[in-house]
Amino acid sequence: MLVLKDVLTDMAKAIVETPDGVSVTETEDENGEILLTLTVAPDDMGKVIGRHGRIANALRSIMKAAAATVGKKVTVEIQ
């Protein structure tokens, strides 16, 4: 089974310079929607967001596609 938290963690660790500073928390509401909160080191925040938010939007799109394969809805927040 696909674990969405692990997918986001692996992608984020591949982007940043400090992979140990990456953490993802997962919460699910009563409607079955999943909220993934990505936390990275302050120095890596620019790498995760990208120019004009392109990388952040790409991460969100990939996660929505991955969630659709298991019949879930997901929202990604970056802190």
Q: What is the pLDDT along the chain (79 residues), one digit of tens a residue?
A: 689 999 999 999 999 999 999 999 999 998 889 999 999 999 999 999 999 999 999 999 999 999 999 999 999 999 9
User: pTM higher than 0.85 for the full model?
Assistant: yes
CB 1 within 8 A of CB 70: yes
d(CA 31, CA 12): 27
Could you say which of 3.30.300.20, 3.40.50.300, 3.40.50.1980, 3.10.20.30 is the CATH number of the domain covering 4-78? Answer: 3.30.300.20
12 and 6 in contact (C-beta within 8 Å)? Answer: no
